[in-house]
Amino acid sequence: TYIRGLKPTKSIINPPYETNNSFRFTQQALEYLEPNGRLIIIMPTPTLTQNERSGAVKKLLKTAQLDFVIRMPDDLFSEQGRTVQTSVFGFTKTPHRQGKKVLFYSLEDDGLVSVQHKGKLDRHNKWPAIEQQVLDAVINRTVLAGVSEMRDIFRPDGSVCSVGLPPKMQSVHGHALVRIGDLFDVAKGTLASEKAVSSGRYDFITAADEWKKHNAFEYDCEALVYAVAASGSLGRCHYVNGKFTASNLCLVLTPKKNGAMPVNLVFYQNYFAAARPKIVSALAEGTSKKTISAPRFLDYLIEYVPLQEQIGFSSRLDFLARVMKRLEGKIQKEKSRHQQLFHCLQCAPEDP
């Protein structure tokens, strides 16, 4: 064909996003490129993940190496009034060998501001420094804490994990990294949020910050309820102890029975809260409505902290909470006293 006759060595594409066109454009562009040619393509973040089960991604990686993935800001693109989460993918036309790591970079803020009728502008001159940091990371494969990291995309069994596998090593705190599924049994909540009963007796835990009520319960235990299918609340984690039911937008996590790694649920509720941005960034899929799949959540690696450390942390947290409550009570009393004094001053008779 004409394009192949030009013997292209570089290709930059912003393809249409609907009906898996992005992946087809990727395949076509790599087919046209000369050996060791480079492709940079921006497409919906979950594009590769959505083509894993069919084997299409594994086949693609036999001819192309995935060099980097830059996750773009959430508000970069909109399609038919919906926000589309996108990433920039960089490929080289050479087989991707197992053990070859991929740079994953999270560009949460590009420094640009939206201006009506003018699009996004660099009003505060932030982009040059941000651009340089991105280029340095891509070219030099620079690891930046909380921003970029090198990940394998092949599992030990040879299957593909397009979002990358967390490093299989100890955490920065010296604790072992284990699968969430090794610590918790997980069940899906069953009740739709609109089924709440305001006069109900039992807690109804949804993805929202505030709990609701229902007139029946499914669980009578200590558990964590983790939001996996509500974009604005994705990754929110509630601790509950007693009779409750859970929303179908959430997973219910209970400690493994007779597990070798016992857990304190108060500790891990706080752990999930602190790790929420990182977990959501790594696992969320979808374009306008992002979700976290249960299998990928169970495979995610987190720190296992020895039980006594968990208990010690939870005790200190409980102590701080009680101190804060007492301080808030004192502050409220002082506010009331000042209001009373002010009222008295206003009501005092003027001097004749």
Domain boundaries in the chain? 2-165, 176-305, 306-337
pLDDT single digits (tens) 98-141:
999 999 999 988 998 888 888 889 999 999 999 999 999 999 99
Distance from the Cα of residue 285 to its chain's centroid: 9
Whole-number Å distance between alpha carbons of 165 and 153? 6
Q: Other CB atoms closer than 10 Å to residue 347's CB: what's the count?
A: 7
The CA–CA distances, whole Å, from 1 to 23, 31, 62, 79, 97 equal: 21, 12, 23, 33, 30
The least confident of 204-208, 229-233, 294-298 is: 229-233
CB-based contact 113:124 (threshold 8 Å):
yes
Q: What is the 3-state secondary structure (H, E, C) of 236-261?
A: CEEEEEEEEEEECCEEEEEECCCCCC
The least confident of 2-11, 272-281, 322-331 is: 322-331
| E-strand stretches of 127-231 | 148-154, 160-165, 176-179, 184-188, 202-205, 212-214, 219-227
* The pLDDT of residue 2 is above 70: yes
Instruction: Look up residue 323 and give its two tokens.
Output: 């101190």
The least confident of 37-41, 168-172, 192-196, 268-272 is: 168-172
Counting residues of the chain whose pLDDT is more than 70, the rounded percentage is 92
**CATH top-level class for 176-305?**
alpha beta
Q: What one-character DSSP code corresponds to residue 291?
A: B
**Secondary structure of residue 323 in the 3-state scheme:** helix
Q: What is the mean pLDDT of the chain?
A: 87
CB-based contact 247:264 (threshold 8 Å):
no
CB-based contact 210:184 (threshold 8 Å):
no
Segment 153-172 mean pLDDT: 74
pTM of the predicted protein model:
0.66
15 pLDDT tier (thresholds 50, 70, 90): very high
Ramachandran sector of residue 333 (left: φ over 0; alpha: ψ -120 to 50; beta: rest): alpha
Q: Other CB atoms closer than 10 Å to residue 287's CB: what's the count?
A: 18
Whether CATH 3.40.50.150 fits 2-165: yes
Q: Which residue has the tokens 């597990």?
A: 259
* The pLDDT of residue 170 is above 60: no
The least confident of 22-36, 79-93, 199-213 is: 79-93
